[in-house]
Amino acid sequence: MKPSEANIIDILKRYSFEKGVWKQYSPNMSIIGDLKINSARIVDIVLDVEDRFDIEIDDDSLESIVTVQDIVDVIEQKNKPV
C-alpha cells in the first residue's frame, strides 16, 4: 500500500460510520456506494485531502473521484513535476 493510500484511508475512516465495510476493503471500492460514506462528507474528505497533501482538487478532478484509488490517482497527478 502506498503511503498516500494509507493517509486517505485514515481520512475516510473519520467519516465512515459503518465500520464493517472496511473488513472487505480494496482500493477499488466506491467511497459512497461501498464504504457507505454520506455524500455530504465529500466536503470534508476533499478539504482534508487538500490539507494533508497540500494540493488543490479542482471541480473536474472531483468528478473523477469515485473510488479510493481515484483519490490516490488525483494526488499523484497533482504532485507530478510539470
User: Are the beta carbons of 67 and 29 closer than 8 angstroms?
Assistant: yes
**Residues 14-53, mask of contacts with other proteins (x by CB under 8 A):** -x-----------------x----xxxxxxx-xx--x---
CB of 81 to other proteins, least distance (A): 25
Cα–Cα distances in Å, from 57 out to 7, 9, 18, 48, 53?
16, 17, 26, 11, 10
SS3 30: strand
CB of 39 to other proteins, least distance (A): 6
> What residues make contact with other proteins under the rule CB under 8 A?
15, 33, 38-44, 46-47, 50, 59-60, 62-66, 70
